[in-house]
Amino acid sequence: MIELYFDTDTTQLPALSDSLIPVHLYGPPAQNGEYASIGRPLLNEIKRIKEDLDETALDFLTIAMAITAADTFVERNKQAEDGWCREFKLSIPLINPSVWIPQIELLKEILHFLSGDLWHFQFRTGNFVWPDKIKRGRKIPLVGHDSACLFSGGLDSAIGIIDLTSKKINPVLISHAYARDKSKQDNLYNLLGLKNSKFQVIAYPRKAGDIPTDVQMRTRSFNFIAFGTLISTAISQHYQAGKLTTLYVPENGLISINPPLTPRRIGSLSTRTTHPHYMSLLNELFHRVHLPVILDNPYQFMTKGEMMKNCSNTIVLEQIAKDTVSCGKWKRTGIQCGKCVPCIIRRASFHSAAMPDQTVNYVYNDLGLVIKDPDNRDDLMSMILAIRKLKKVKNPKIWISKSGALPTDLKIRRQILDTVVRGFKEVEDYLKSQSLGVNI
């Protein structure tokens, strides 16, 4: 187990050791490497929000910052039995720890499901004073908005805002604003002619000394949702008389469930960032701590191709789709790879929707060459093996549910299973169109 101790006052941080990482919350890292930091740029954006912010939502944000720090700074335990699971103890200062202490077991369940790690929490009363609002400069107005929506710069989130706008729903757009992500998000925002307020922030974790960084970042969606929860709660309290405000999380049903393509992907590569069980647990947490927010994925029962075909404005979608990003590796080169699982599903969705894929180059355009390359075909072969397996199994529920518990409602469960099957069929049809059918 490794402990991370957080404080906004650097004089209260313990010494760095092999088993303990001190982290400066909402401030800069130590120049001598004695402690790490997270959240410093976030304060600048929070000061721009015109409305007062809820203390419980601020505490949830602080918890999310701590979780992101742990996920970033602690390497996967190579000595663990499964080569994957880490164990954390987080000591976190909050405004109202008494609200969160009864929810520790639920938090542990949520985070274990999301990251596969073991989590322990200690909440204590902090003395941080949140900064005053800026009096001049760019502000982030929430008036006139009725919801919030995650806006990543991806194809699904682009379809999400197009559809919401067509329904006269006016969400604040919530984004992780890493440099290349922000440029993509701003470009899409301008191409779509949007006027929505934007809350674009980054956690900005900075490590201490030679602490390694886990590049997987399985908990990034927890952070993303915490940003959206902060804004959704403010909208509810200031403009909706405390009624539940929807935080939209647009994600196609296949990626949402993300069943393990092969047995080895159950741990390391089967992410659960929008899985319905995870979303349900978060909604339960919000209910218990009285945050007036409800998470909603409007596309849980749609494949990516169906999202494109059913988009409320396919003319606009066809114009901007090439400017969206689906690849999980594109930041390394600035170009989408074309061969990872999200890229393959993206390319299959264009094919299914009969919409030309005008994406400006993929690193690997020709999947026929990829399948012949042992060093680059892992994801493609995993997709092919999953399609083969799906054809053979009598009950796909057993395999698909390995990604996590499915809803107990039989109708909803059936809809989810059918969506996953249709999603793999889209991929199969696309691979056949690329002369890869013989491999399936």
374 domain residue, yes or no: yes
Number of domains in the chain: 3
291 domain residue, yes or no: yes
Burial of 362 (0-12, 13-18, 19+ CB in 10 A): buried
Tell me how far apart the alpha carbons of residues 272 and 259 are, in angstroms, rounded to a whole number. Answer: 9
Q: Are residues 84 and 152 in the same domain?
A: no
228 domain residue, yes or no: yes
Q: Are residues 157 and 284 in the same domain?
A: yes
Q: Are residues 171 and 241 in the same domain?
A: yes
Q: Are residues 121 and 152 in the same domain?
A: no
Tell me how far apart the alpha carbons of residues 375 and 435 are, in angstroms, rounded to a whole number. Answer: 21
Residue whose entry in the numeric block shows the structure tokens 């054809």: 391
Indicate the length of the chain as a whole number: 440
CB burial of 131-145 (b: ≥16 within 10 Å; e: otherwise) equals eeeeeeeeebebeeb
301 domain residue, yes or no: no
171 domain residue, yes or no: yes
Q: Are residues 290 and 347 in the same domain?
A: no
Of 122, 105, 125, 130, nearest to 48 by C-alpha is 130
DSSP conformational letter for 273: T
133 domain residue, yes or no: no
> How much is the pLDDT for 325?
94
210 domain residue, yes or no: no
Of 296, 318, 335, which closes a domain? 296
310 domain residue, yes or no: no
Q: Give one DSSP letter per residue of 137-193, joined into a string.
A: S--B--TT--EEEE--SSHHHHHHHHHHHHTT--EEEEEE--HHHHHHHHHHHHHTT
Tell me if residue 49 falls in helix, strand or coil. strand
Q: Are residues 266 and 337 in the same domain?
A: no
Q: Are residues 71 and 178 in the same domain?
A: no
Amino acid at 63: I
Mean pLDDT by groups of 10 residues along the chain of 440 residues: 96 95 94 92 93 96 96 73 81 98 98 94 94 84 97 97 98 89 93 97 84 65 96 97 97 93 57 91 98 98 98 98 90 88 97 95 94 94 92 80 86 94 96 86
Phi, psi dihedral angles at 398 (to 5 degrees): -60, -45
Of 274, 296, 318, which closes a domain? 296
Q: Are residues 262 and 161 in the same domain?
A: yes
Q: Are residues 188 and 282 in the same domain?
A: yes
Tell me how far apart the alpha carbons of residues 271 and 275 are, in angstroms, rounded to a whole number. Answer: 9
Q: Is the dihedral of CA 262, 267, 268, 270 positive or negative?
A: positive
Q: Are residues 166 and 271 in the same domain?
A: yes
Q: Are residues 120 and 189 in the same domain?
A: no
Please give the span between the terminal C-alpha atoms of the chain, in angstroms, as a whole number: 44
Q: What is the torsion angle, in degrees rounded to the nearest 10, for the CA atoms of residue 187, residue 191, residue 194 and residue 197?
A: 0
Contact predicate 171/164, CB 8 Å: yes
Of 254, 277, 296, which closes a domain? 296
Cβ atoms within 10 Å of 432's Cβ, excluding its own: 14
Cβ atoms within 10 Å of 397's Cβ, excluding its own: 15
Q: Are residues 160 and 275 in the same domain?
A: yes
Amino acid at 349: S
Which residues span the domain enclosing 292? 147-205+216-296
Task: Give the CATH number for residue 244.
Answer: 3.40.50
> How much is the pLDDT for 79?
40
